Structure 1
Amino acid sequence: MCDESRPASEKIIVEITDRNGTDPTELRPPLYEVIDVAALDDLFASGRDQGLRDCDGRLEFTYGSWRVRVESDGSVVVEPGEES
């Protein structure tokens, strides 16, 4: 999903709640308990704000049963993670 008008944290929440068929307020634990959402949003907004679209990088983490990947262009990929 690549909607540059939304912060990365919001894209992650929307993607997971759409897949789960739940309301964002029902996510447990809340995303902010797993990752610093302000830092996440700042990290992936700064490149777009400063015109640094040619920078390459990504952040990957596990959120519940999901593997989340945020790319340097701000796109978010959410995939089922490995069951433990």
Structure 2
Amino acid sequence: MINHSDPRPPDDADADAGVDSEGADADSVVYRRSDGESPAHSVVQAVAEATQRDPTELRPLYEVIDTDALDDLIDGGSERVQAPDELRIDFQFEGCQVAVYADGRTVASRPTSAPR
């Protein structure tokens, strides 16, 4: 699991839900976008890590979501300001639940298998 530090204190609601301060549980990967990295690119990186696959083995992200719209919503386009940090976009990609946050996090969660 990639877990980059977040200076914010954990949210009590996250603790109750069994997730850490990054918004992830034990079956999740938290990816922090670097400066200039697009949110769409971070989705591919996080899902590749969560599924233990090479990013080039994943189907194209644009088949699931409009990557330009995702990038514009999260980072803001040239015509508007960046989204508030609490904005979150959720969708499924390659068997993972993905949450892209405006604060720079991308969380990819693998489904947990039911106990036998």
What TM-score range do you get, normalising by the shorter chain? 0.7 to 0.9
Distance 1:43 1:4, change over 3 A: farther
2:50, 2:110 within 8 Å by CA — same for their partners in 1?
A: no
Which residue is 1:79 aligned to?
Answer: 109
Gaps of 5+ in 1: none
TM-score where L is the length of structure 2 = 0.57
Change (3 A) 1:53 1:31: closer
**8 Å Cα contact 2:95/2:111 also seen in 1:** yes
Q: Distance in 2 between matches of 1:20 and 1:56?
A: 26
Q: Does 1:41 align with 2:67?
A: no
**Equivalent residue, structure 1, for 2:11:** none
Moved over 4 A (4+): 52-55
- CA deviation map 1:16-71 (0-9, x unaligned): 2233333322113x111000001101111118x83x56453211111121000011
**Residue equivalent to 1:18:** 49
Structure 1: how far apart are the matches of 2:89 and 2:74?
10
Structure showing the higher helix proportion among its residues: 1
Matched residue pairs, number? 80
Alpha-carbon distance in 2 for matches of 1:43, 1:69 = 13
Q: Which structure's CA Rg is the greater one?
A: 2
The 8 Å contact of residues 68 and 76 in structure 1, kept in 2 or not, is answered as yes
Structure with greater contact order relative to length (CA < 8 Å, sep ≥ 6): 1
Q: Which runs of no fewer than 5 residues in structure 2 stay unpaired?
A: 1-30
Q: Over aligned residue pairs, what C-alpha RMSD do you find?
A: 2.4
Give the TM-score normalised by structure 1: 0.75
Indicate conservation of the 8 Å contact 1:69/1:77, yes or no: yes
